[in-house]
C-alpha cells in the first residue's frame, strides 16, 4: 500500500425530497448564487420550480445560466465567469449531471483568476475557486463529490481535466427519485461511467491493497446487479438509490486510497468524445474491454481475481489466461446486456482517424499506469475495439 | 434505504513516517496545544521524541497530560479541562489509541462549557468544542475519525457515550508501523472492536441496503483475513496497514449510511467493562456471538447472507436456520482462532451481577434495533455468553 492523504469534506444529503433543503443549505455560504443547468428537462420534471421555491423561501437572490451540453464547452464556462463577475456572484449551484457540475466547477475556478481559465486545463495550479454545490440528476461522473472538472475547448477539439481539492462541492444533494425520469439509455451510459471509475482504480500493479480491492468489488457488484434490475424495470426506486450512492462512492477517492490508478481508458476516451462527441460512458463501454485485452498479460492473476470476485467465475487454475479472458468477456457481456455499445462500429465511428487520435492522446506522454501506453498501444486498443 | 446525511471532513494522513508531519499540520490551527497520551509506551517506542521534535520544528508550544487508562475516566477529563483553561490552550492532540482520543474529545467539549462536562454524557447537546487531532497507535475504536467519545464516571461505574459531528478530529495520522509494537493480544482485542463496529451496522432490518451490505462484507473479510495473518506473523506490515485502514473505515459512518444500526451489543458491553473493567473488544468478542444466538430468528436470511458472503458458507436452502447458526459458529471460531475470549468464563466474570448489569443497561429504555432488547433479553444474552 502506498502512503496517501484522503480528505473529502463534501456533505452528502441523500434521499427523497432532499432538494427542498437547498435554499437553507446555501444560506450558510451565500446570498446570491449562479444557478447553472442544462436544457429544459429540469423544467419538464418540476425540479426547476422546486429549486426556485426553495431559494425564494430562503430569501436568496440568483442568476441563471442554462444550456450546458454533454461534453461541456469552454465558451459556456467563459460566459458563466463573465456573469459572476458582473453580478457579484460568489457561489455556483449546479443542477444536473456531470456536464453541468464540471461546467460549474470551471466557472468557479475562472472567476477569481485574471488570466484565461483554460490555463488550468493546460497545467497551471489552482490557488482559489468559488464554492459550489450540486443537485444531482444523473448518477454517472461522480463529479458531485470529486475535485475534477472535464471541459472541451471547441477550438481544436481538446478535452482536458483539472483536478484540485478546491473544486470539491461544499454539499451535494442526491435524491434518487430525480433520476427516474432519465431515459434508459442515458441511465446505462451513466452506469458505464460509474463502472469505469472503479475499473480504472482496480487495475493497479500496487500489491497489498486488499481492503480497497474488496471495496471496489463490492461496489462494482452492486452496480452490475442493480443496472440489470433497472434495465428491465426503470422505475425501480430502490435500484435507482443503490446506483446513485454507488456512483458517488465510485469516484469520491476513497476507493483509490493507497494505490496508483490507471486512467488510461479515460484518457483514450477523451479523444474519442472530443473527435466524435460520443457520450463519455458509451465511449468507455467500448474502450474498457479492448483496453483489458491489450493489457491483461501484465498481471493475469489480477484479472483472475476480478472474474472470480466480481462475476463469481470459478478460477481456471491450470490455464489462468483463460480465466482472465473469461472475466473480460463477462464484463463485455454485461455492457451488452444493458444495451451499451461495445465496439467502435456500435458507435458508428469510422477508422480513418484512429491514428490521429492515438497520436493526440499520447502527444505529451504515455497514458495509463497498469501498463504505460504509447501511441502504438493506443492504436492497438482502437483496433481491438473495432 | 433511509434518507441520510453523511459528512466526514477528517483529513486522513496515512502511511510510513507520517507522524513527522504533525507539527506542520497543527500550525494551520493553533500555536499551543495539549498533548494527551497514555503511559510510557510512546516513550519506549521513540514516538514521543519524534512528535516532540516535529512540534518544536514547527515552533509550537505544548503542555502534556499523560496517564490515560483503558476505559478513560472522567477525573482525567476534568484535569485536562482545567489545564487547557489555565494555559489558554485551544487544540488537543491525542497520541494513542481510542481511550486517549476519547479522553481528548471529552476535554475538547468541556473547555468551552461552564457546567459539568458529564452533562453531555447525560444527554445535553454540544454547541461547541475545541478542535482535536490524532496520531493513532492502536487500530480499534475508529475514534480517529468518528464523532464519538466514551467515558467512564468512576463514581457509580457509569460508562456513557457522546456523539457529535463537532467531535470529529480535524486530521488523523495513521502510520501502521506504529502498531507493530502492540502486544498481540491488544492487537486482537482491537480487531474484535473493529469487527463489532461493522456487525452492529450490518444487522439492520432496513431493506435495500445492498451497497453498504457489500461494503461491510468487503471490509469484514479483509479484517478477518489479515487478523489471521497477524496472529501468526505480528510483524507483517502489509497486514498491519490493511487492519489500520479497515479499522478507520469501519467506524467513519460511511458503512452505516441509509440504514439503522443496532448498537445493542456495544451498550451491553459498556456495562460489562464498567463493572469489571474488561477491555471493550474482549467484552465484544464474548457478547456478539451470544447476541446473535438471541436475535437470529428475527431475520434468518440476513444471517444466511452473512455466512455465505463473509465466510463463503454454501447456503443450506432446505434448513436456513442451520445456515444462520453455522455463520454464528464461524464468527465465534474466528474470534477463538485469534486468541480472543468467547465466554464470560474466559473473562473470569462471575454470574452474580448479571441481573444488575442487565437492569442498568436497560434502565432508561430498551437497547438495540435489530431486535429491541429489554432487561430479560439482556439477561438471556449474558446467560448465552456464560
Give the model confidence (pLDDT) of B31-84 as tens digits. Answer: 999 999 998 899 999 999 999 999 999 999 999 999 999 889 999 999 999 999
Residue B327's pLDDT band (cuts 50, 70, 90): very high
- Residues of chain B contacting residue A9, judged by C-beta atoms under 8 Å apart: 7-9
Instruction: Give the burial class of B106: count Cβ atoms within 10 A of its Cβ; 0-12 exposed, 13-18 middle, 19 or more buried.
Output: buried
Is the pLDDT score of A156 beyond 80?
no
Task: Answer whether B11 sits within 8 Å of A4, measured CB to CB.
Answer: no
Q: Where does the pLDDT of residue A195 fall: very low under 50, low under 70, confident under 90, or very high at 90 and above?
A: very high
CB < 8 Å to A247, chain B: none
Candidates B210, B226, B230, B240: best to mutate against A (most CBs of A within 10 A) is B210
Q: Number of CB pairs < 8 Å for A and B?
A: 117
Q: Kindly state the DSSP code that residue A252 receives in the 8-state scheme.
A: S
Decide if A208 and B241 are in contact by the 8 Å CB cutoff: yes
Q: Where do the DSSP E strands lie in chain B? A: 4-6, 11-14, 32-37, 61-65, 92-96, 132-136, 148-153, 158-163, 171-174
What is the distance between the alpha carbons of residues A292 and B182, in angstroms, rounded to a whole number?
A: 42
Confidence of residue A39 (pLDDT cuts 50, 70, 90): confident
Secondary element (H or E) of residue A148: strand A148-153
pLDDT value of residue B71:
84
State how beta strands B171-174 and A4-6 pair.
unpaired
User: What residues of B are in contact with residue A210 (Cβ under 8 Å)?
Assistant: 222, 225-226, 242
**Residues on chain B touching A246 (C-beta within 8 angstroms):** 211
Q: Smallest Cβ distance to B12: which of A6, A215, A221?
A: A6
pLDDT of A184: 96
Averaged over A97-115, what is the pLDDT?
Answer: 97
Does pLDDT of A98 surpass 90?
A: yes
CA-based torsion, A332, A335, A338, A343: positive or negative: negative
The mean pLDDT value of chain B amounts to 97
Pairwise CB contact (< 8 Å): A225 & B211: no
Average pLDDT score over residue span B97-120:
97
**Distance, CA of B38 to CA of B160 (rounded, Å):** 20
Residues in chain B within 8 Å Cβ distance of A18 = 3
- Among chain B, residues having any CB pair with chain A shorter than 8 Å are 1-16, 18, 207-208, 210-211, 214-215, 217-219, 221-222, 225-226, 238, 241-242, 245-246, 249, 254, 257-258
Query: Residues in chain A whose beta carbon is closer than 8 A to a beta carbon of chain B?
Result: 1-16, 18, 207-208, 210-211, 214-215, 217-219, 221-222, 225-226, 238, 241-242, 245-246, 249, 254, 257-258
pLDDT digits (tens, 9 = 90+) for A271-280: 998 899 899 9
When scoring A8, A169, A218 by the number of chain B Cβ atoms within 10 A, the one with the most, hence best to mutate, is A218
Greater confidence (A156 vs A46) lies with A46
pLDDT at B158: 83
Handedness of CA A342, A346, A351, A352 (dihedral sign): negative
Bridge partners, A123 (sequence order): none
How many CB atoms lie under 10 A from the CB of residue A114? 5
Tell me what pLDDT residue B154 has: 86
User: What does the pLDDT look like over A348-360, one tens digit per residue?
Assistant: 999 999 999 999 9
Instruction: Give A159's pLDDT tier (boundaries 50, 70, 90).
Output: confident
Q: Residue A330 pairs with which residues in a beta bridge?
A: none
Instruction: Give burial (CB, 10 Å; 0-12/13-18/19+) of A161.
Output: middle
A215/B241 Cβ within 8 A: no
Across the range A189-211, mean pLDDT stands at 98
Report whether pLDDT(B159) > 90.
no
**Integer-rounded Cα radius of gyration of chain A:** 20
Chain-chain contact of A14 with B7 (C-beta, under 8 angstroms): no
- Of all residues in chain A, the one with the smallest CA distance to B8 is A9
Q: Which residues of chain A does B8 touch, with a Cβ-Cβ cutoff of 8 Å? A: 8-9
Handedness of CA B357, B358, B362, B367 (dihedral sign): positive
What does the mean pLDDT of chain A come to? 97
Question: How far B2 CA sits from the closest chain A CA (Å)?
Answer: 7
What is the spatial distance between Cα B300 and Cα B322, in angstroms, rounded to a whole number? 9
Tell me which chain A residue has its CA closest to the CA of residue B5.
Answer: A13
The DSSP element (H or E) to which A151 belongs, if any, is strand A148-153
Closest CA to A367 of A295, A318, A289, A281: A295
Go through the domains of chain B in sequence order and give each one's CATH number.
11-178 (3.40.50.1970), 183-384 (1.20.1090.10)
B174, B218, B243, best to mutate vs chain A, most A CBs in 10 Å:
B218
8 Å CB contact between B101 and B138: no
Residue B305 predicted with pLDDT over 90? yes
Whole-number Å distance between alpha carbons of B316 and B296: 15
Per the CB < 8 A criterion, the answer to whether B103 and B67 are in contact is no
User: Residue A325 above 80 pLDDT?
Assistant: yes
Which H or E element spans position A16?
none
Helices of type H across B203-279 = 210-232, 237-249, 264-276
* Cβ contacts of B13 on chain A, cutoff 8 Å: 5
Judged against a pLDDT cut of 90, whether residue A50 lies above it is answered with: yes
Going by pLDDT thresholds of 50, 70 and 90, the confidence category of residue B157 is: confident
Cβ contact, residue pair B242, A210, below 8 Å: yes
Residue A154: what pLDDT? Answer: 86
| A245, closest residue in chain B (CA to CA) | B211
Q: Which residues pair with B106 in a beta bridge?
A: none
Q: Which residue of chain A comes nearest to B213, CA vs CA?
A: A218
Q: Mean of the pLDDT values across residues A150-154?
A: 91
Q: Which residues contact B46 (CB under 8 A, 6 or more apart)?
A: none
pLDDT above 70: percentage of residues in chain A: 100
The pLDDT score that the predictor gives to residue A382 is: 98
- The answer to whether B1 contacts A241, with C-beta atoms less than 8 Å apart, is yes
Q: Are residues B14 and A6, on separate chains, in Cβ contact within 8 Å?
A: yes
Sort out which chain A residues have CB atoms less than 8 A from B222's CB and list them. Answer: 210-211, 214
Who among A12, A214, A245 is closest to B222 (CB)?
Answer: A214
pLDDT at position B70 is 86
Angle at which helices B264-276 and B280-295 pack, to 10 degrees?
140
Inform me whether the pLDDT recorded for B156 exceeds 80. no
Residues 6+ apart with CB under 8 A from B310: B217, B220, B221, B224, B327, B330
CB atoms A7 and B11 under 8 Å: yes
Q: Give B241's contacts in chain A (Cβ within 8 Å).
A: 1, 208, 258
C-beta atoms of A222 and B214 within 8 A: yes
Q: How far is CA A46 from CA A40, A177, A234, B105, in A?
A: 10, 12, 19, 45
CB contact under 8 A, B210 and A225: yes
Read off the pTM. Answer: 0.97
User: How many other CB atoms are there within 10 angstroms of residue B356's CB atom?
Assistant: 11
Sign of CA dihedral B345, B349, B350, B355: negative
> Distance from A333 to chain B by nearest Cα, in Å?
22
The answer for residues whose C-beta is within 8 angstroms of residue B168's C-beta and 6 or more apart is: B8, B9, B10, B145, B146, B147
- CB contacts of A219 in chain B (<8 Å) are 211, 214-215
pLDDT at A71: 84
How does pLDDT run across B220-272, given as a tens digit for each residue? 999 999 999 999 999 999 999 999 999 999 999 999 999 999 999 999 998 99
The closest of A15, A37, A137, A21 to A93, measured between CA atoms, is: A37
Nearest-angstrom CA–CA distance, B287 and B381? 7
Of the candidates B7, B217, B238, which has its C-beta nearest A208's C-beta?
A: B238
The x, y and z cell numbers of residue A277, run together, are: 462527441
Amino acid at each position: 500500500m502506498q502512503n496517501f492523504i484522503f480528505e473529502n469534506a463534501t456533505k452528502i444529503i441523500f434521499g427523497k425530497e432532499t432538494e427542498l433543503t437547498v435554499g437553507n443549505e446555501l444560506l450558510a455560504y451565500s446570498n446570491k448564487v449562479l444557478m447553472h443547468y442544462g436544457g429544459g428537462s429540469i423544467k419538464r420534471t418540476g425540479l426547476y420550480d422546486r429549486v426556485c421555491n426553495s431559494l425564494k423561501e430562503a430569501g436568496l437572490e440568483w442568476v441563471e445560466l442554462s444550456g450546458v451540453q454533454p461534453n461541456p464547452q469552454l465558451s459556456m464556462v467563459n460566459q458563466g465567469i463573465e456573469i459572476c463577475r458582473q453580478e457579484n456572484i460568489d457561489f455556483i449551484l449546479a443542477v444536473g449531471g456531470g456536464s453541468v457540475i464540471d461546467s460549474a466547477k470551471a466557472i468557479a475556478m475562472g472567476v477569481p483568476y485574471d488570466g484565461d481559465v483554460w490555463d488550468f486545463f493546460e497545467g497551471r495550479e489552482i490557488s482559489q475557486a468559488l464554492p459550489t454545490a450540486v443537485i444531482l440528476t444523473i448518477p454517472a461522473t461522480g463529479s458531485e463529490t470529486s475535485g475534477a472538472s472535464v471541459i472541451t475547448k471547441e477550438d481544436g477539439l481538446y478535452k482536458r481535466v483539472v483536478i484540485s481539492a478546491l473544486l470539491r462541492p461544499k454539499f451535494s444533494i442526491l435524491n434518487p427519485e430525480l433520476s427516474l425520469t432519465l431515459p434508459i439509455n442515458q441511465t446505462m451510459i451513466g452506469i458505464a461511467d460509474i463502472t469505469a471509475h472503479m475499473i480504472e482504480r482496480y487495475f493497479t500493479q500496487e500489491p497489498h491493497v486488499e481492503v480497497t480491492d474488496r471495496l471496489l468489488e463490492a461496489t462494482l457488484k452492486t452496480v452490475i446487479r442493480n443496472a440489470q434490475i433497472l434495465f428491465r424495470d426503470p422505475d425501480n426506486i430502490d435500484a435507482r438509490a443503490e446506483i446513485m450512492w454507488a456512483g458517488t462512492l465510485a469516484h469520491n477517492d476513497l476507493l483509490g486510497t493507497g494505490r496508483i490508478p490507471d486512467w488510461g481508458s479515460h484518457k483514450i476516451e477523451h479523444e474519442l468524445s472530443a473527435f466524435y462527441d460520443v457520450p463519455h460512458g458509451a465511449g468507455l463501454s467500448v474502450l474498457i474491454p479492448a483496453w483489458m485485452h491489450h493489457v491483461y498479460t501484465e498481471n493475469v492473476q489480477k484479472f483472475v481475481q476480478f472474474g472470480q470476485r466480481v462475476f463469481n467465475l470459478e478460477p481456471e487454475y491450470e490455464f489462468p489466461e483463460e480465466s482472465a479472458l473469461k472475466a473480460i468477456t463477462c464484463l463485455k457481456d454485461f455492457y451488452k446486456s444493458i444495451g451499451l455499445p461495445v465496439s467502435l462500429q456500435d458507435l458508428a465511428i469510422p477508422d480513418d482517424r484512429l491514428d490521429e487520435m492515438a497520436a493526440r492522446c499520447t502527444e505529451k506522454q504515455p497514458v495509463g499506469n497498469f501498463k504505460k501506453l504509447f501511441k502504438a498501444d493506443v492504436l492497438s486498443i482502437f483496433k481491438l475495439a473495432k
